[in-house]
Every structure is written in C-alpha cells, then in structure tokens.
Amino acid sequence: MDPIEQKPPLEEVGGFASVDLGRKERCGFPEVIFGQGKTTDQVVQILRTMLKHGLGGLATRIEAATGARLAAEFPEGVHNPVARTFRVAAPGDAGPKLGRVVVVTAGTSDLPVAEEARVTAEAWGCEVRLVADVGVAGIHRLFHRLPDLAGADVVVVVAGMEGALPSVVGGLVDCPVIAVPTSIGYGASFGGLAALLGMLNSCASNVVVVNIDAGFNGGHVAGLIARRAGQARAGTGAGPGSDRGTDRGGERHGLATD
C-alpha cells in the first residue's frame, strides 16, 4: 500500500484532540502542543498521551497556572515562564547536539519570543546560544558580541520597533538568518506589522521572515536547518559550513568577508 494511503497513526483524546503520533517519523519532530486557547486539563491529557508513546512533548504559549500544573503532573519536565513553554524530553533526546543556532534579540523586551525560539531549537537537539539586547540603537553592542555568532549554522534574530536588526546581522554572517518580528513598539509599530514589513524588505539576501511573535516557528526552522548541517558534519566530516574561513587561531569564524 502506498504510504500516503495508509491511515496515519493517531490517538483520539477526550473528544477534543487527535494526537498525531506519526509526525516525528514523517517530519523529524513530534507534534507540538499549542497551549493558547486550550484548558489546562486538555494540555495535560495531550501531553500524557505523547509521553505514553515515548515521544516526549513540548507545549508552547501556556499560561503561568498551566505551567505550574504541568510541573506538578510531570516533575521530569521543565517550565520556562519567560518563554511560556513546558517541555518533557523524550528518552532519545540525551544524544549529542547536532547543529549550532544563535538566537539574537534587539532588546530585553523581545526575550519572551526569543526564549520560545531557544527552547524549540534546543528541543530539536541543537546547541543554542542566546545573545540578548544588541539592537541598532547601540550597534556597538552587537559588534562586541560578534564572536558569539562564530560558527553558527543559523542565526535567529528577534526584533520589534522598526525591525532593523536582521538586516545588520545578515550583512555580517555567512549563514541563513531567520527574522522574527515582535509586537513590541509604540502605536505606529502596529503590533509588529512595521517590523514585519521592514524585515520582508531586508536588503540582506540571507534573511527570511516568519510571523509576528512566532518564536516557535523561528526556532523550528532554525532547528531543521542546523540539524541537517550538523548531521552532514557528523556523517562525512563535511557539510554546510565546513568550508568557512578560519582565524589565525584556527577556529571557524563564520563571518562573511568581502
């Protein structure tokens, strides 16, 4: 039988959810629980189902009370109140990290979205570094942290206001830059629309954009790209990023040069 015609594995939960048990095999990563709009009991039951099948589980956009309940129900999990996430690692998640992701924020106010991206990329088995509060209002802060971007397979840049930071970062690195606009800003930012449009019009050719406040999406796509790069290096010793330049100390710098 054609795999597409086969009935996908799933489990009905409480009459309110059909948990996709085959997504990890199809897409590389299990289904993620989007907590916004769900009751705490619904999130608990869905996560319990995923754990029963050995998938682990990541819940995003959860309220503080839901996070506290999940922490009580699943003490092996980790609640990140800033990111509004709760994660229980799967049994096989303890393997070596594959792929390198750097998450950069323009301001401290962007941290909730950036943390969601960081947690997601870490859940997908990547090595993740956070560089916070290096926006264009004090651009010297970014230049001071450029060594932290060295060797990244993907950089996720999270910014509100006018959303200028991804273009700046894009002109300094030789890897994909995933721009995440946030709804941070005064009235004319239109809830992140100004940042979104600015990022879509970036003159840096390595910048791609996800939706407003979509830290999960930024972290997920970064994880997909970075893991492929890491798998290539682990399997063959060569792959995306393996031919980057080196500095005088022999370390990969990962920064673009003209």
> Do 88 and 130 share a structural domain?
no
> Do 226 and 131 share a structural domain?
yes
d(CA 149, CA 168) in angstroms, rounded, equals 13
- Other C-beta atoms within 10 Å of 32: how many? 18
Closest CA to 91 of 129, 50, 127, 59: 50
Tokens matching residue 37: 């709009």
Answer yes or no: is 5 within a domain: no
CATH for 191? 3.40.50.1970
- pLDDT, one tens digit for every residue, the chain (258 residues): 455 555 568 888 888 998 988 888 888 888 999 999 999 999 999 999 999 888 889 999 999 999 999 999 999 999 999 999 999 998 877 778 889 999 999 999 999 999 999 999 999 989 999 999 999 999 999 999 999 999 999 999 999 999 999 999 999 999 999 999 999 999 999 999 999 999 999 999 999 999 999 999 999 999 999 999 988 888 844 433 343 333 323 343 344 433
Number of domains comprising the chain: 2
Closest CA to 133 of 169, 108, 114, 155: 108
pLDDT at 95: 73
Q: In what order do the strands lie in the sheet with 78-80?
A: 33-34, 57-60, 85-88, 78-80
> Do 159 and 47 share a structural domain?
no
Q: What is the pTM of this model?
A: 0.84
d(CA 241, CA 232) in angstroms, rounded, equals 10
Query: Whole domain around residue 150: which residue ranges?
Result: 96-236
Q: How far apart are the first and last CA of the chain?
A: 53
d(CA 44, CA 40) in angstroms, rounded, equals 6
> Do 135 and 57 share a structural domain?
no
Tokens matching residue 131: 């560089």
